[in-house]
Each structure stands twice: as C-alpha cells, then as structure tokens.
C-alpha cells in the first residue's frame, strides 16, 4: 500500500507504508522541503528570465524613440507634418539628398536648453534678491522717518508742556523708550 502526500501548490509525493512511522515522517518532511525548494528556484529563474526580456524590450523601444525624436523635433520646429519631416530628414533623421538639414542631436540640444534654463533661473534669483533688498531698504527708510516724526512730536509736546506743570513731564519721562534694530 502507498500514501499520496499533497503539499505546496499542486505538488504531491507517493510513499510506501511498509515502514516505521518516524522514518516515514522524516522522509515526507525532507522530500517535501526539497521539492518546495526546487519549485521556488524554478519560479525565481522564470521571473529572472521575464525581467531580462522586459529590459531588452525597453532597450529596443528606447532605440526606436531616439530615432523618432529628431523627426518629431523637426516637425515641431518647422511646422511640417511628421511625414513631411521624415521625408525631409530621411529615415534616420540625417540630411538627405533633397537638401534637408538634420537638427542638432537631441542630447546636445537638451544640454543647451538646460544651460539656458539654468541661466534664466539664476537671473530670476538675482532679480528676486534685488527686489527683496529694495523692499528692506524702503522699510528701513520708512522706520527712520517714523522715528524722526515721533521725536519731533515729543519735542513739540515738551515745548507746549513747559507751561502746564511738572506732573506731565514726569509722566512722559516714565514712558519706556522704543529701541530699533539699527
């Protein structure tokens, strides 16, 4: 008589029952474990092959995209349809005999664009910094003018207060003085 042991995902193993219990259980455990490890390795190899196939596919698509980018750029720049741009540039995006000229390589153009964008960003930062400094200067000048007006008002109040009495002068002396960051 035989025993069929099912385990894992659609896996099974057949064992003979004409043996003692302990060796049977050990054999079942070892067999199941080894079979499970083999199945896992097989799955891992399958996934590795799938990943490699996807990477190859991605590389092929990137090469195709690189071939098509000059055509798309030429059609955008000149306003031509993609078919006309393709005829003008030829199949590979180079100058053909009809006299069409291929645009600068995409990588160089992007470097130039990046350089221009970097310069524009720096110019904007400098402009923002200049505006910020101007605002700070205006705020400082306004604060100085406010302080001067307060001092003039105090002097004017002192001139008027001399005739009123000593109590008002003592009250003015007790007022705290406002300090600025100058």
pLDDT tens profile 39-97: 889 999 999 999 999 999 999 999 988 888 877 777 777 666 666 666 665 654 454 44
Domain spans of the chain? Answer: 106-157
Lowest-confidence pick of 14-18, 45-49, 122-126, 138-142: 14-18
pLDDT tens profile 2-21: 888 887 667 787 877 787 77
Q: What is the pLDDT of residue 95?
A: 46
Largest Cα–Cα separation, the chain: 130
pTM: 0.32
Counting every residue written for the chain, the total comes to 182
Q: What is the pLDDT of residue 32?
A: 76
Do 67 and 90 form a contact (C-beta atoms < 8 A)? no
Between 162 and 17, the more confident residue is: 17
Q: What is the pLDDT of residue 18?
A: 82
pLDDT tens profile 99-108: 445 555 555 5
- Identify any residues that bridge with 13 across adjacent strands, giving them in sequence order: 5
């Amino acid at each position: 008589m035989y025993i069929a042991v099912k385990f894992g995902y659609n896996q099974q193993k057949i064992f003979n029952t004409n043996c003692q219990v302990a060796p049977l259980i050990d054999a079942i455990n070892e067999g199941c474990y080894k079979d499970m490890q083999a199945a896992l390795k097989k799955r891992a190899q399958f996934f590795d092959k799938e990943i490699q196939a996807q990477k190859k596919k991605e590389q092929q698509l990137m090469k195709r995209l690189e071939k098509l980018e000059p055509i798309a750029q030429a059609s955008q720049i000149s306003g031509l349809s993609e078919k006309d741009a393709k005829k003008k540039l030829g199949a590979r995006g180079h100058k053909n005999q009809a006299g069409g000229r291929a645009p600068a390589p995409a990588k160089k153009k992007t470097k130039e664009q990046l350089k221009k964008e970097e310069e524009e960003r720096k110019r904007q930062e400098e402009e923002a910094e200049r505006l910020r400094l101007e605002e700070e200067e205006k705020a400082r000048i306004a604060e100085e003018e406010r302080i001067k007006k307060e001092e003039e008002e105090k002097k004017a109040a002192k001139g008027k207060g001399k005739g009123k009495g000593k109590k008002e002068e003592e009250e003015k002396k007790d007022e705290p003085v406002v300090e600025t960051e100058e």
